Amino acid sequence: MEPIEHRVLVLGLPETGKSSFIQALDEVLKHPATPESLCRDGLADDRSYIHAGKPSFLAGEVPGRTDRQIDDTSVELRFKHPPTGQRGRLFLPDEKGEKFRDQWINRRWEKEYRESLAGIAGVLVFVRADAKPRNEERLGVLAKAIVSSGQERLFEMKEASAQVQLVDVLQFIAEFSAAPQPLRMAVLVSAWDTVGGPGDLRPRIPGKFVEKEWALLAQYLRSNPGSFTPKIYGVSAFGGVPGELKPSEVDKPAHERSRIVDDVDVSNESNDLTRPLVWLLQLN
């Protein structure tokens, strides 16, 4: 069976875990969690982007932020789906988070990027569990703030809450692109290992977590079933806080450290990061 080409949009604001997830996914494909899980089916001709960030990831550190000057952030992963025998070439461009933020700020997007959405199979949307989706500390002073010097500072667009920016980017896709609709969307709540610690009252079910912490995003998706079909996952690419992992944890193989959980069965936690892709690509 010839491999089928699948293109998936990887979307998220700066530092939301996109690069780390791609690195972890590459490791999991090499070491499938079960005989039925997606597995590696050879290597892409060009793996320079993956190789550049691999040492940092394996050491339990966040790979360097995607360089805005790099035009080619192409990531190709070749896979096989054992239950069906289907083979595929998965294209996951690791777009710079600033690209999506600039889209919000400037109210414009690149023609090439817009046209590239026409044939995508789905979208991976990244939000962070340990980042504030709202800017509550600025309620009532969103237009301007008084700094210690007494000078007024105008509000900057980039300071808008993360979920406002993200929903706006999704509206661009829904209203002004030729992306297929409804578009399957896997919402990946990264740094999921930070949820559920002592005194943490946030929901431990990914869907309920998004409903409470990312309410605007949840409401937008619920109100637009004709544009997006979402499924929500909690993901930890490192299995802990990068840079703070103990030596014994870093020594553990990277594919064993990563964890994922979804809303179907929260007790079914595993290291099979291919689960969102199986759902996005409708392989099951």
Dist. CA 137–CA 9, nearest whole Å: 32
Domain 4-133+164-280 has CATH 3.40.50.300: yes
Q: What letter would DSSP give residue 160?
A: S
Q: What letter would DSSP give residue 270?
A: B
Dist. CA 130–CA 282, nearest whole Å: 30
Token duo for residue 69: 């000057």
Predicted pLDDT of residue 74? 77
Dist. CA 46–CA 86, nearest whole Å: 22
Q: Which of 35, 87, 34 is nearest to 271 (CA)?
A: 34
Helices (H) and strands (E) in the chain, counts: 10, 10
pLDDT by residue for the chain (284 residues), tens digit each? 678 999 999 999 999 999 999 999 999 999 999 999 999 999 999 999 899 999 999 988 887 655 444 455 679 999 999 999 999 999 998 888 888 999 999 989 989 889 999 989 999 999 999 888 776 545 555 445 555 555 666 767 888 889 999 999 999 999 999 999 999 999 999 999 999 888 888 999 999 999 999 999 999 999 999 999 999 999 999 988 887 888 878 889 999 999 999 987 777 899 999 999 999 999 86
Dist. CA 203–CA 189, nearest whole Å: 12
- CA quadruple 138, 142, 146, 147: dihedral sign: positive
The pTM score is 0.90
Predicted pLDDT of residue 168? 95
